Structure 1
């Protein structure tokens, strides 16, 4: 399974989604812009996109909710360890999760969908969250000096409007 992500205005992306009613899309927005995700085993309908392989998933994509995209830049040598470690997040309170391996970059995305923003913020205060997204390699069980993160992780959040 693959996820392709494109950006644009909400109205423009809504039209793309409506033109392909048999495809699986997730349309979301925040105060800055909108994103449209296309989840498919085939090729995307987007002309330009960021491309990811789904290496783990849990739950269907809901029609409403709060979306958090954890962008995690990982070094080439750190990828296997990160993928093994991050799978511990499956089924920890979120409605849905997609773990995305980049096809053309080093930035993984951990996409989680929550009932609301409060549920996500509550999870951010847990030990599990801090261990999963900390720059501290000891949280990953790593005792070597190998660099796992190529830069600091960051989060972008969105609302599913429909």
Structure 2
């Protein structure tokens, strides 16, 4: 499965739904920016978008909720090790209250992977972040980042915008 995303104004991005009625777009806001996201086997319809391969999925993305994206730049020779670490991890994410979806997205261009999680609410995400399960999964390792990190990871978060309510 592929995943696609792009940023723009809400008004501009929602016009895409008229142009591509068969695509199920998801819209989300970070306050100053709006992001459009969709997934499936379709082609990329964004003029200036980002394309990913979803190499691990759990749950279904919903029109409402809270999205957190951990953006992780990975070196070219570190991609296999990075992906293997994800496959080997013991995750209890889907057992957490409010969990909706998980995607590990491999970039088709560039080097920044996206670990996307969706929660019913920001509070559900914070409860997971403060849980023993999170601490176990994200145990502090060495003080320096893994060698396969090309740069410092960064987090982006969004509140879903339900176009049916606007």
TM superposition score normalised by structure 1: 0.84
| 1:48 counterpart residue number | 48
Could you tell which deviates more after superposition, 75-84 or 93-102? 75-84
Corresponding residue number in structure 1 for 2:108: 103
Root-mean-square deviation (Å): 2.4
Q: Provide closer, same or farther for how the CA distance between residues 85 and 113 of structure 1 changes in structure 2, counting only shifts above 3 A.
A: same
Equivalent residue number for residue 141 of structure 1: none
Where does 1:12-91 land on structure 2 (aligned, <5 Å)?
12-87=12-87, 88=89, 89=91, 91=94
In 1, distance between residues paired with 2:151 and 2:78?
Answer: 12
Contact 2:69 2:114 in 1 (8 A): yes
Bigger drift between 53-62 and 9-18 goes to 9-18
Structure-2-length-normalised TM-score: 0.82
- Distance in 1 (alpha carbons) for counterparts of 2:102 and 2:15: 25
Q: How many residues align?
A: 156
In 1, distance between residues paired with 2:153 and 2:74? Answer: 9
Q: Secondary structure at the match of 1:112?
A: strand
Q: Report which stretch shifted further, 41-50 or 120-129.
A: 120-129
**Displacement of 1:14:** 1.3
Aligned-pair CA distance for 1:129 = 3.7
